[in-house]
Amino acid sequence: MDHGTGLFVDGNWARGSAVLPVADKYTGDAIAELHVPGPDQVDAAVASAARSAGGLPAAERAAILRRAARALDVGRAAILAWYVAETGFTPADATGELDRTLLIFELCAQEAERLTGEMVPVQAAAGHDDSLCFTLRVPVGVVAAITPFNAPLSTVAHKIAPALAAGNAVVLKPAEQTPLCAIALVRALLEAGLPERLVQLLPGPGETIGDRLVRHPDVRYVTFTGSTAVGRHIRAVSGLARTHLELGSNSPTVLWHDADLDHALPLVVRAGYRKAGQVCTSIQRLLVHEAIADEVTERLAALVRDLPYGDPRAPGTLVGPLISAEAAGRAEALLADAVGHGSYLLTGGARAGSMMVPTLLSGLPDGSRLASEEAFAPLLAIASVGSLDEAVHLANGTNYGLQAGVFCQDLDVALTFARRLETGGVVINDTSSTHPDPMPYGGVKDSGHGVEGPAYAVRDMTESRTVLVRHRGL
């Protein structure tokens, strides 16, 4: 597949004002050079989108999304190769995300077909016995979508597919480090017959391109996934645009004393170390009932020690490099801080460039940065808990609140966790990282606001228009 200039503005693959190099995250080889728009091109993209939004019938929007999914499936081999190169994630991660993307497109197509308003019982007001009141869902206009590096297919799909399903035009600013998959998605939509000005693609740095985009007064809705710091900034500068912010996390998963460890531990390993821990819902804190803490520590250390890491393309690798040496350096600093506060290093700990060996700690002392900040690395700490109150207290003890997992067979205990954990989602008998795409998904506290999931996002990317019909019965 040809990545072209990567910059798609006002219906054309355009040349920009600067060049964005894209590297293979494992080999470091240059794999592409994309064009970065100048400020005028950012404005032109929004203006073009604003002129084009609305007007495409729902059935056509649904058909386009379905055809785009088929085009992605047909082009799968090239897309997977781009994905592995630009992320450093494994081919299995790539396949999983592409398959999710196809499902997200299909679910959004279905939502386009059933998007509707509601009847309003105005007869409760005196004099309105014969009035009819109902609402219409109308597109908001221009949706700005800004995405992070760590899920360049599924997160982008969770933004552009609902935006288009709802009848909007979308201006996409993908992560600088992983823009190639976004090109594949845009190409598939164009191939599927999307009117070309309904999607605009702006590769380039967030601080300039992204910032100008979210400040633009014609952007009506900003859907953003990324760090809490950037989310706060976007919220502050985006004026009256509605925002949906999917932000950082430091996700806990609880292993209660009755957990089935043969079932749970392999899932914990995947959720802690897949994509080198660079998943917003990765387990960073494993809260283990003290009755099973010794057994869990011993078994988990053995599993993590054996994890294949290194070249993401080598068969069997689960843990590839981090997105950059800087990211690995930040994780190493969190690790040193935790050990300095009294955590015990069970396995791993070494780092070379962007590669960090899968690392497991026991103990998560109060005051350590790992207890409160986000590591976004193959770094997991076990903390022993003696009671439900203690587990809830620890789990809720960060500013984040995205998703939590609870392995527990006792329904009363499991549901008590579900009620008391301050997170957008609680997964019973699986990890914090489990996320079937149809479900409502989003954080609370510093993990953001708004929910993703086709049924929720499509509706949220519309406005409600109320129609009141006054008539007198004859």
Active site residues: 246, 280
**Coil/strand/helix, residue 58:** helix
Is 97 among the residues that bind ligand NAP (CB under 6 A)? no
Q: Are 94 and 316 in contact (CB under 8 A)?
A: no
Is 287 among the residues that bind ligand NAP (CB under 6 A)? no
Closer Cβ to ligand NAP, 167 or 226, answer by number: 226
CA 248-330-147 angle, to 5 degrees, is 35
Q: Are 20 and 203 in contact (CB under 8 A)?
A: yes
Rounded CA-CA distance 202/301 in Å is 44
Specify the stretch interacting with ligand NAP by CB under 6 A; choose among 30-38, 66-74, 182-190, 208-216: 208-216
Is 86 among the residues that bind ligand NAP (CB under 6 A)? no
Is 425 among the residues that bind ligand NAP (CB under 6 A)? no
Is 211 among the residues that bind ligand NAP (CB under 6 A)? yes
Rounded CA-CA distance 64/190 in Å is 9
Between residue 123 and residue 182, which ones bind ligand NAP under the rule CB under 6 A?
146-151, 155, 173, 175-177
Is the dihedral angle over the CA atoms 61, 63, 68, 69 positive or is it negative?
positive
Q: At what angle do helices 411-420 and 388-395 cross, to 10 degrees?
A: 30
Number of residues that bind ligand NAP (CB under 6 A): 34
Specify the stretch interacting with ligand NAP by CB under 6 A; choose among 91-99, 118-126, 203-211, 252-260: 203-211
Containing 12, the helix (H) or strand (E) segment is strand 12-13
Is 271 among the residues that bind ligand NAP (CB under 6 A)? no
Is 210 among the residues that bind ligand NAP (CB under 6 A)? yes
Q: Are strands 8-9 and 448-449 parallel, antiparallel or unpaired?
A: unpaired
Q: Which neighbouring-strand residues pair with 13?
A: 8
**Coil/strand/helix, residue 312:** coil
Containing 9, the helix (H) or strand (E) segment is strand 8-9
- Minimum CB separation of residue 18 from ligand NAP in Å reads 12
- Minimum CB separation of residue 463 from ligand NAP in Å reads 23
- Minimum CB separation of residue 153 from ligand NAP in Å reads 12
**Coil/strand/helix, residue 282:** coil
Is 226 among the residues that bind ligand NAP (CB under 6 A)? yes
Nearest-CA neighbor of 332 among 371, 291, 293, 376?
A: 376
Q: At what angle do helices 293-305 and 261-273 cross, to 10 degrees?
A: 50
**Coil/strand/helix, residue 439:** coil
DSSP 193-234: T--GGGEEE--S-IIIIIHHHHH-TTEEEEEEES-HHHHHHH
Residue nearest to ligand NAP (CB): 206
- Minimum CB separation of residue 245 from ligand NAP in Å reads 8
Binding mask 368-397 for ligand NAP (x = CB under 6 A): ------x-x---------------------
Specify the stretch interacting with ligand NAP by CB under 6 A; choose among 119-127, 299-307, 443-451, 466-474: 443-451
Is 227 among the residues that bind ligand NAP (CB under 6 A)? yes
Is 252 among the residues that bind ligand NAP (CB under 6 A)? no
Specify the stretch interacting with ligand NAP by CB under 6 A; choose among 164-172, 209-217, 305-313, 363-371: 209-217
- Minimum CB separation of residue 464 from ligand NAP in Å reads 26
* Chain residues in the site for ligand NAP (CB under 6 A): 146-151, 155, 173, 175-177, 205-207, 210-211, 214, 225-227, 230, 233-234, 246-249, 280, 374, 376, 402, 443, 447-448
